[in-house]
Structure 1
Amino acid sequence: MKYLEYTPLDRINDFLSHVNLGERTIKGCLEAYSCKHTGTDKKLSLSLEHEILDYLGKSSDTDSSSPAEYLSSRSSRKTLIYLILTLYHIYPDYDFSAVNAHQFFTEESWDCFKQIFDTYMFEASKEWVEANEGGPLLEILYKALDEVVKLAECEIYSYNPESDADPFLERGAIWSFNFFFYNRKQKRVVSFRFCCISNLVADGFLTDGLCNEEDGEIFDDMDM
Structure 2
Amino acid sequence: MKYLEYTPLDSISSFLSHVNLGECILKGNLEAYSCKHTGMDKKLSLSLEKEFLDCLAESPGSFSSSPSLSSKDGRKTLIYLVLTLNHMYPDYDFSAVQAHHFVREDALDNFELKFNSYMLEAAREWASINGESSLLESTLRAIDEVINLEECEVYSYYPDFEEDPSLEKGAIWSFYFFFYNKKLKRVVSFRCACLSKLVMDDDQFVDEMQMNDDWDIFDGMDM
| TM-score, normalization by structure 1 | 0.84
The alpha-carbon deviation at position 97 of structure 1 amounts to 3.3
The answer to whether the Cα contact below 8 Å between 2:63 and 2:69 also exists between their aligned partners in 1 is: no
Between the two proteins, what is the percent identity of the paired residues?
Answer: 62
Question: SS of the counterpart of 2:199?
Answer: helix
- Deviation readout 1:32-57 (Å, 9 max, x if unpaired): 00001112211211111111122223
Q: Distance in 2 between matches of 1:185 and 1:133?
A: 35
Correspondence 1:171-186 to 2 at 5 A: 171-186=169-184
The alpha-carbon deviation at position 132 of structure 1 amounts to 1.4
Query: Are the structure 2 counterparts of residues 13 and 60 from structure 1 closer, same or farther at C-alpha, using a change threshold of 3 Å?
Result: closer
Question: SS of the counterpart of 2:176?
Answer: strand
Q: Give the letter for the 1:107 counterpart.
A: R
Match of 1:70 among 58, 68, 83: 68
The answer to whether the Cα contact below 8 Å between 2:3 and 2:31 also exists between their aligned partners in 1 is: yes
Aligned to 2:13: 13
The answer to whether the Cα contact below 8 Å between 1:84 and 1:101 also exists between their aligned partners in 2 is: no
- Deviation readout 1:127-179 (Å, 9 max, x if unpaired): 00111147211111011000111011111111111111112324321110011
The answer to whether the Cα contact below 8 Å between 1:134 and 1:140 also exists between their aligned partners in 2 is: no
Aligned to 1:50: 50
Query: Which structure has the larger Rg?
Result: 1
1:35 matched to 2:35? The reply is yes
The alpha-carbon deviation at position 203 of structure 1 amounts to 5.3
Aligned to 1:92: 90
1:22 matched to 2:3? The reply is no
The alpha-carbon deviation at position 101 of structure 1 amounts to 2.5
Q: Distance in 2 between matches of 1:66 and 1:117?
A: 24
The answer to whether the Cα contact below 8 Å between 2:177 and 2:190 also exists between their aligned partners in 1 is: yes
The answer to whether the Cα contact below 8 Å between 2:172 and 2:193 also exists between their aligned partners in 1 is: yes
The alpha-carbon deviation at position 64 of structure 1 amounts to 5.9
Q: Give the letter for the 1:60 counterpart.
A: S
Aligned to 2:210: none
Aligned to 2:164: 166
Aligned to 1:114: 112
Q: Distance in 2 between matches of 1:80 and 1:194?
A: 21
Question: SS of the counterpart of 2:183?
Answer: coil
- Deviation readout 1:16-45 (Å, 9 max, x if unpaired): 111111111111101100001112211211
The alpha-carbon deviation at position 95 of structure 1 amounts to 2.3
Q: Distance in 2 between matches of 1:106 and 1:135?
A: 30
| TM-score, normalization by structure 2 | 0.84
Q: Give the letter for the 1:196 counterpart.
A: C
Which consecutive unaligned segments of at least 5 residues does structure 1 have? Answer: 205-224
Q: Give the letter for the 1:154 counterpart.
A: C
